[in-house]
A and B are shown apart, each in its own frame.
Chain A
Amino acid sequence: MSTASRDIIVSNSLGLHARPAMQFVDLANQFRSKVTVSKGGGEPYDADGKSVMQMIILAATQGTPLRICAEGDDADAAVEKLARLFQDKFGEE
Chain B
Amino acid sequence: MEIKKGIAVSPGLAISTAIVLDAENLVIPHRLIPVANVNPEIERFHHALNDSIQDLSHQRDELLAHQRKEVAAILDFHIGVLQDKSLIDQIDEEIRSHLSTAEYAVGVVMKKFAAVFSTMSDRYLAERVKDIHDIERQLLQRLLGQHRLDLSHLTSDVVIIAHDLLPSQAASLDRRHVKGFATDAGGRTSHTAIVARSMGIPAVVGLTDITSDVSAGDMVIVDGNHGIVIINPDPQILEENRGAEIRRLKLESERATLHELPAQTLDGHLISLMANIEFPNEVDDALKRGAEGVGLYRTEFLYLASDHEPSEEEHYGAYADALLRLKNRPLVIRTLDLGADKYTQAKFHNPERNPFLGDRSIRMCLHDIPMFKRQLRAIMRSSVLGDVRVMFPMITTLMELRQAKMLLNDVMEELEDEGVSYNRDIPIGMMIEVPSAALMAEKFAKEVNFFSIGTNDLIQYTLAVDRTNEKVAGLFCPGHPAVLGLVRDVIRKGSRSIGVSMCGEMAGEPLYTLLLLGLGLTTFSMNSPDIPEVKKLIRSTTMEHARQVARRVMSFDSERQVMHYLRDETQKIDPEAL
Using CB atoms and an 8 Å cutoff, list the residues of chain A in contact with chain B. 14-15, 17-19, 21-22, 25-26, 48, 50-54, 56-57, 59, 61
With contacts A15-B122, A61-B122 known, is A53 near B76, CB below 8 A?
Answer: no
User: Cβ of B85 and Cβ of A22 under 8 Å apart?
Assistant: no
Given contacts A18-B131, A59-B122, A59-B125, is CB(A53)–CB(B77) below 8 Å?
A: no
| Consensus secondary structure, chain B interface | helix
**Seed contacts A18-B77, A25-B80, A53-B86; 7 additional CB < 8 Å A-B pairs:** A15-B124, A18-B73, A48-B85, A52-B84, A59-B120, A59-B125, A61-B122
Please state if B117 and A57 are interface contacts (CB–CB under 8 Å). Answer: yes
Q: Pick the most buried of A15, A18, A19: most chain B CB atoms within 10 A of its CB.
A: A18
* A-B contact list, 10 entries, CB within 8 Å: A18-B128, A25-B80, A48-B85, A50-B85, A51-B86, A52-B81, A53-B86, A54-B86, A57-B117, A61-B122
Find chain A residues with CB under 8 A from B117 CB: 56-57
From 469 to 524 in chain B, residues with beta carbon under 8 angstroms from any chain A beta carbon are none
B577: CB under 8 A from chain A? no
CB A53 to nearest CB in B, in angstroms, measures 5
Task: Considering the complex, give the chain A residue whose CB is closest to the CB of B125.
Answer: A59
B71: min CB distance to chain A, Å: 12
Chain B residue nearest to A59 (CB atoms) is B120
Q: Is B97 an interface residue (CB 8 A)?
A: no
Contact of A51 (CB < 8 Å), options: B85, B120, B128: B85
A35 to chain B, nearest CB (A): 12
In-complex Cβ contact of A17 among B80, B85, B121, B125 (8 A) = B125
Neighbouring A residues of B122 by C-beta, 8 Å: 15, 59, 61
A22: chain B residues at CB < 8 Å are 73, 76-77, 80
Say yes or no: is B87 at the interface (Cβ < 8 Å to chain A): yes
Contact residues of B between 435 and 492, Cβ < 8 Å to A? none
CA A18 to CA B117, docked complex, whole Å: 12
Please list the 6 inter-chain residue pairs (A to B) with the smallest Cβ-Cβ separation, ordered nearest first.
Answer: A51-B86, A52-B80, A18-B77, A22-B80, A51-B84, A59-B120
Nearest Cβ in chain A — how far from B28, in angstroms? 22
Query: What is the CB-to-nearest-CB distance from A84 to chain B, in angstroms, rounded to a whole number?
Result: 20
**Which of these, A18, A57, A59, contacts B121 with CB under 8 Å?**
A59
- B113 in the interface, Cβ–Cβ < 8 Å? yes
Residues of A within 8 A of B76 (CB): 19, 22
Measured in the bound complex, the distance between the Cα atoms of B323 and A85 in whole Å is 65
Known: A15-B122, A48-B86, A51-B86. Contact between A57 and B80, CB under 8 A?
no
CA distance A55 to B503 in the complex (A): 55
